[in-house]
Amino acid sequence: MKKIISYFFLYIVFCLLQFFCGKYININGIFPNFILIIIVYLGLSRGVVDAELMGFLFGLTWDVFSTDIFGLRAVIFTIIGYLSGKIYKGFDKDKIISQFVIVFFANIIYWVCFSLIYFILSDDRSNSLSIAGLSGSIKIIITVLVAPVVFYILDRIGRYI
């Protein structure tokens, strides 16, 4: 029960952070992907099941709030949650370099899958290439740089939950 409440709390906090705080704390309109960071964190600390379930829920919520193809982010975050959960024993999540590397690759997976599915299913195919363009690469860098801070905060919160 405690676990469910704590996850619900994390879900609310990160949804608010991702969907409502973006307009206040962005860098030239580019905002880090906090949801991706928490999914990777959950995968590395709690394993496959928790990460993929939360990934699915976060993705579905984001799909509801966005105007993109419904189900697109849900599938990507579920895959990222599953993969990060699978490698959680191979990496020391407390090392900053590990966090950089894993979040970086998670970001790459996110953008590749996003562009690929968008390219296949969207009517406007030129848009999918621009998605994975400059804004995508800057967003990856910012997300990677923010990841250790989020990991640290989540670690601190995790001790009390």
Partner 1 sequence: MCQYQKSRHGNILFIILILICFSFIIGRFTSLVILIKKFVYYISYPNISTANFIFRSAGNFAGNIRTIVSMHQENIAYKQKNQELGDKLRNYDAMSKEYDDLSKLLKLTKIKNTASVFARISVRTPNEWYQWFIIDKGEADGLYNEIPVVMLNKENDTLCVVGRIIETYKTSSKVALITNSICVLPVKVKGKDINCLAEGVNSNLLKITYIPQEADIKCGDEIVVSELSGVFQQDMPVGIITNILEEQSTDFKTATANTFFEKDTLYKAIVLVSEAEKK
Enumerate binding residues for partner 1 (CB under 8 A): 47-49, 52-53, 56, 59, 63-65, 67-72, 74-75, 78-79, 82, 85, 117, 121
| Residue with Cβ nearer partner 1 (9 or 65) | 65
The nearest distance, CB 20 to partner 1, in angstroms, is 14
The torsion region of residue 39 among left (phi > 0), alpha (psi -120 to 50) and beta comes to: alpha
**What letter would DSSP give residue 27?**
B
| Residue with Cβ nearer partner 1 (7 or 100) | 7
Structure tokens at 144: 């990677």
The nearest distance, CB 137 to partner 1, in angstroms, is 25
The nearest distance, CB 4 to partner 1, in angstroms, is 16
Give backbone dihedrals phi and psi of 30, rounded to 5 degrees, phi first.
Answer: -105, 130
The nearest distance, CB 112 to partner 1, in angstroms, is 16
CA 20 to chain centre: 16
Structure tokens at 108: 């790459």
User: Most distant CA pair in the chain: distance in Å?
Assistant: 48
| Residue with Cβ nearer partner 1 (74 or 142) | 74
Structure tokens at 56: 């699915």
Structure tokens at 1: 């029960």
Question: Which neighbouring-strand residues pair with 27?
Answer: 30
The nearest distance, CB 16 to partner 1, in angstroms, is 16
| Residue with Cβ nearer partner 1 (49 or 157) | 49
| Residue with Cβ nearer partner 1 (64 or 161) | 64
